[in-house]
Amino acid sequence: MNAPHPPKVAGIDPAVPTPAHTVAPTSPASVPAPAPAPHPPAPGAVLQDRLAGWVSDLTTLHELTERLTRTSALDPALHELLGAGASLVGARRGLVVLEPGDGPRTTLGLGLGRADLGLIETVPHGALPYDTGGGAEIVHPDLLAEDGLDPRHREVAARLGYAASYAVPLATASAGRLGAAVWFYDEPAEPHERRRHLAGLYVRHATEHLARLLEVERTRACMATITEELLPARLPRVAGVQLAARHRTGPRGGGDWYDALPLPDAALGLSVGSVTGSGPSAVAAMGRLRASLRAYAVMEGEDPVAVLSDLELLLRLTEPARSATALFAFCEPALRKVTLAGAGHSPPLLIGERRTRFAETSVSAPLGMLACWEAPSVEIQAQAGETVLLYTDGLLHRTGDPMDRAFARLHAAAAGVPRAVRHDPGAVADHVLRTVLPDGLDAADSDEDVVLLAARFD
């Protein structure tokens, strides 16, 4: 039976013994005089070396924590944690497991694929190389030579090719227990005390940062849910017109809305708008304004100017510190006729086989900006197969371009809708969204909401 491997310090090879002499001893005459003994280092030099080591460690720790702090989402932060921890403890692979008490379990690997992570999960819970509920580090300096190791753990370690592991809990007094991180070594090894100390400091900082990011994720999910609940659960079905909507909410929750409301005599009311500000107050104001607009549309929807005038009066009386832009369109699908009015809102876009143009709406102030709002309405006569696209300014603002160039980009995207998808308003909206906001800008973190409402006339 082979003797167990002597453990070594991570990143440092064990000392190699001096080989025995095999040369015959020389005569005393040929032996040179012994060199004088070296002087012991001065106490000041030893202290200086220690201080230099501490400064180097603190500099490294500062750089790693700065990189971690710059992450603003959970996945990049976990990747940064694994990479920085691996460099501190001298490992090459690792994984992190998050198990917050009020959230889903998250597992992420460094140098490990999904299949590898799944294989590790087959180890019995009490024999895992980490403990998400514990409060102490777990060290396995030589797994293959360790007595009492779970057979399944030994099998998984042999299959994945790691011989040692070092795990630390992700837990602090303020953040609670979030999970654990573990790093794997290809050979028997363990980090020495200096590396453990640095890793412990870094992990404590990382745990606090992860706790903040988890709270941000929960807040974003909550705001997105509230916003979606305040918007239509589904669009109505009205003869002669097909509807589709796309909505992207900012991380703090914004005040953009869309609505489609069946009206008497087979008519249809369409609206989009945006309340200033972001966060819970803006979302609540958006919900109140949208509900009020629906009531005014039922009463006098055939006159969009009257609808927006009533909405402006309500906003000025109930929320004098807030303003909003809005556009309301009264559609008669049987006639393919649209009568609309806008208050500080961007003009709708008419998309067809033979033309793509912006509706010529009059310039008007947003609601709540003037003592009394009023602007003339505009009529659009659509052709069969044409789509009227309503949108909010967030679609333009997220491009980062000046407004004239953003409008030009939007027009080019609408004109370039493939003929094969022009019959589907949802496909038209998706094409415009991807073209105007490429590289995932529609899903990127932004204070701007994005709303598109497309109505295709048969």
Q: Band of the pLDDT at 6, cuts 50, 70, 90?
A: very low
| 358 and 266 assigned to the same domain | yes
Q: Are residues 246 and 110 in the same domain?
A: no
Residue 371 lies in a domain: yes
pLDDT, tens digit (0-9, with 9 covering 90-100), for 104-157: 788 999 999 999 999 999 999 888 888 877 678 899 999 888 888 999 999 999
Is the pLDDT reported for residue 374 higher than 80? Answer: no
Q: Is 138 in the same domain as 248?
A: no
286 and 377 share a domain? yes
Residues 247 and 361 occupy one common structural domain: yes
Structure tokens at 262: 């069946």
In a domain, 120, yes or no: yes
pLDDT surpasses 80 at 263 = yes
Per-residue pLDDT, averaged over 29-48, amounts to: 60
CATH of the domain at 76: 3.30.450.40
Q: Looking at residue 262, what is its pLDDT? A: 93
Q: Which residues pair with 391 in a beta bridge?
A: 452
CB atoms closer than 10 angstroms to residue 216:
15
Give the domain-ending residue among 222, 240, 260. 222
Residue 272 shares a structural domain with residue 405: yes
What pLDDT score was predicted for residue 10?
Answer: 45
443 pLDDT band, cuts 50/70/90, is low
Do 238 and 215 have their domain in common?
no
Would 35 be classed as within a structural domain? no
Q: What is the pLDDT of residue 32?
A: 53
Percentage of the chain surpassing pLDDT 90? 48
Residues 398, 259 share a domain: yes
Please report whether residue 3 resides in a domain.
no
pTM above 0.75, yes or no: no
Residue 17 forms part of a structural domain: no
Does 196 lie in the same domain as 335?
no
Q: How many C-beta atoms lie closer than 10 Å to residue 99's C-beta?
A: 16
**Which among 222, 257, 282 is the end of a domain?**
222
pLDDT tens for 45-70 read 767 777 776 778 888 889 999 999 99
Point out the domain boundary residue: 169, 201, 222. Answer: 222
Judgement on whether residues 118 and 240 belong to the same structural domain of the protein: no
Q: In this structure, is residue 33 part of a structural domain? A: no
* The total number of structural domains that make up the chain: 2
Give residue 373's pLDDT band: very low, low, confident or very high (50, 70, 90).
low
- Determine the average pLDDT of the residues in 308-333: 89
Indicate whether 236 and 134 sit together in one domain. Answer: no
d(CA 450, CA 261): 20
Q: Strand 254-263 relative to strand 337-343: parallel, antiparallel, unpaired? A: unpaired
pLDDT band at residue 364 using 50, 70 and 90 as cut-offs: confident
Structure confidence at residue 319 (pLDDT):
83
Between the alpha carbon of residue 396 and those of residues 222, 253, 363, 392, 400, the distances in Å are 26, 18, 18, 8, 8
Query: Is residue 25 included in any domain, yes or no?
Result: no
- If you average pLDDT over each of 135-144, 202-211, 227-236, 307-316, which comes out highest? 202-211
> What is the structure's pLDDT at 46?
67
**Predicted local confidence at residue 31, as pLDDT:** 46
Residue 264 domain flag: yes
Mean pLDDT for 243-266 is 86
Beta bridge partners of 110: 94
Is there a single domain that holds both residue 400 and residue 453? yes
- For position 251, which CATH number holds? 3.60.40.10
Per-residue model confidence (pLDDT) at position 318: 86
Residue 380: give the domain boundaries. Answer: 231-457
